[in-house]
């Protein structure tokens, strides 16, 4: 699956995801409309239902394996978060959205593992 070339393709994909709850059906319809399959990031964002008109969407990936206080964080444990405010840094408010995403998806306690912004890389998706 290819990445988006324009933000309008991404918006079209998000609009279409409302109409087609089944992943396979959505992917086929998206391919017919755009001429390529939706990106992995769009499908993941759609799957966990993270959409926001006022915030920004980020993909957060751990830099290395970290094991502290009986918890383990690995580079495969990436998450997609939407911030509540328009910001360039998903860790701006003491990583509230990041903590919630890791707890919800991986049952991983960000604070118990003594994580910080320096343990992650992130990129904007919108």
pLDDT at residue 53 above 70?
A: no
Residue 12 falls in which region: left (phi positive, over 0), alpha (psi -120 to 50) or beta: alpha
Q: Looking at per-residue confidence, does 125 or 122 come out higher?
A: 122
Q: What confidence tens digit (pLDDT) does each residue in 62-120 have? A: 999 998 888 899 999 999 888 877 778 888 888 888 998 898 888 888 889 989 899 99
pTM above 0.85, yes or no: no
Give the residue ranges of DSSP H helices in the chain: 7-19, 23-34, 40-48, 96-106
Tracing tokens 């751990």 back to the chain, one arrives at 62
Is 101:79 a contact under the CB 8 Å cutoff? yes
C-alpha distances out from residue 56 to 23, 91, 93, 107, Å: 23, 12, 13, 23
Q: Is the pLDDT of residue 52 over 50?
A: no
Confidence at residue 47, expressed as pLDDT on a 0 to 100 scale: 57
């Amino acid at each position: 699956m290819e990445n988006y070339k324009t933000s309008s393709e991404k918006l079209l994909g998000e609009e279409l995801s409302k109409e087609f709850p089944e992943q396979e059906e959505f992917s086929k319809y998206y391919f017919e409309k755009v001429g390529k399959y939706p990106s992995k990031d769009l499908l993941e964002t759609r799957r966990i239902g993270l959409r926001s008109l006022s915030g920004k969407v980020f993909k957060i990936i751990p830099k290395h394996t970290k094991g502290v206080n009986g918890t383990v964080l690995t580079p495969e444990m990436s998450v997609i978060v939407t911030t509540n405010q328009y910001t360039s840094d998903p860790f701006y408010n003491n990583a509230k959205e990041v903590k919630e995403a890791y707890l919800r998806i991986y049952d991983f306690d960000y604070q118990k593992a003594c994580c910080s912004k320096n343990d992650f890389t992130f990129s904007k998706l919108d």
